Structure 1
Amino acid sequence: MRIARQHVQTDQLLGIASVPQGEAAAPPPLDETAEPAPAPAAAAPTDSTTASTEPSGAVPTGSPWSAAPELDRAARQQLLEQMDRDEVSCCTKCPLSEGRTRTVFGEGDPDARIMFIGEGPGQNEDEQGRPFVGRAGELLNKQIAAMGLEREQVFIANVVKCRPPNNRAPTPAEVDACEPYLRRQIQGIRPDAIITLGGPATKLILDTKLGITRLRGTWATYDGLLPTGPQVPVMPTFHPAYLLRSYTEDNRRRVWSDLQQVMERLGMK
């Protein structure tokens, strides 16, 4: 009974009356253009929903990051902090660095079982140097709580570490400049599952041109750690900012269904 009450409470928290069985696998009847996505990358089109097994910017064998899984929590936290301090905070690889107030590296538990990956910082994030601290962040916090977790127990990052002007989607060149940072974050944390929030993050992590409305609710894999690391299960879902713009019961139900799939896979239900 206690577990049943908890599920009712989390459903109410997200504004959901019920979650039909099998909802997660069904693509929602939404316009693909409803959620902005970046311009297509220059790479040749592919039908695969997984990343290349030999991606550019792979972690070199023998680097501290290749040994990250064997390091204890404190050592991996130190690696992440060092990358933020020595590389990300002073990065000038793309024009986004010219207009930023602060870089937004990401935050959370280096031992996190779940890693959330969004698109890029907004105004609040740019000012504070933290990911998801505006209205979208408040909704993400509620979603994390509904999963029975605290924000400090997951890791939250973005595809790009600097705010794109006017909150536009990052360009392929901007994504490419930041991708090695995100790859090393995943390498260091080694989450049990990645939840991609929105189109840009999903397209990068899965190396696909398919839209989020076709991919959400269906498990895929991130192969960016191969050949030395494991595949990481990926659950794409809608970005909280999109959910705020289209705050319908159907969309809330779909997102909650996606999160429940992650909970079930990780034995959290």
Structure 2
Amino acid sequence: MSPHDLTPPSRLQARFATCQAEQRAALVTYVMAGDPDLASSQALLSQLPAAGADIIELGMPFSDPMADGEAIQRAGQRALGDGQTLTRTLAMVSEFRRQDTTTPLVLMGYLNPIQCYGETRFLTDAAAAGVDGLIVVDLPPEHGAGFTARARDLGLARIPLVAPTTPASRLPALLAQGDGFVYRIAYNGITGRAGGAPSGDMTSALAQLREHTALPLAVGFGIRDGDAAAAVAGVADAVVVGSALVERLDTQGPEGALTLVRELAASMKRSAG
């Protein structure tokens, strides 16, 4: 037995293994750190697992989120307006870990705030806080090798984004820096696009991805309700819901957002039989 065989699984690996054993896709929920304010955001974060979230993506607010639609842009503006910083976001993770040591938590955002914080300092502090992985939207593999290596040394998964337009020739370089899972964007464009359930084309797209990686495949962008989530859950290892949840939080408050998570989880479980 090699030393690698003795390494305990990460929280992400353990959660995907649990979902696979239960023959269902994982539900990944995205919320913006500090939206609408720090106390409300911290409380919502703590309640997401019990509502049905298997994995949490926590957005890092940024003033110029080029890949995000209006809902997430507004969430970031609300958070920044309330004084949310990357330091406060990492403190939220630390607080979350005081009560929950098993739910994987991934930070998602842009490189600029990380560089302002200091890349090495950020990675060290993120790992210490209990972060499991990172999705950095605007850090391509051509410029991310050093960042990825430092993240891996600290046990942080670098989760790659694959778009519908990503050429097959680019996948080896992109996926070589991937850990945790692969985030397959369902549609070209920004977050929050309403597009229904891309199950037909997505089946072949995910089959092609599986030729290049053994990592679990998550699908997100445009999934807004239980029916769409259930359809995608039939072909993917995980379903990511972000803008619909952020919108529900804005219009109906934390309980409305938690109700949506419960609805999504229930629909996905029913579809799994």
Confirm or deny a common fold (TM above 0.5): no
Q: Which has the higher contact order (CA 8 A, sep 6+)?
A: 1
TM-score, normalised to structure 2's length?
A: 0.29
More helix by share: 2
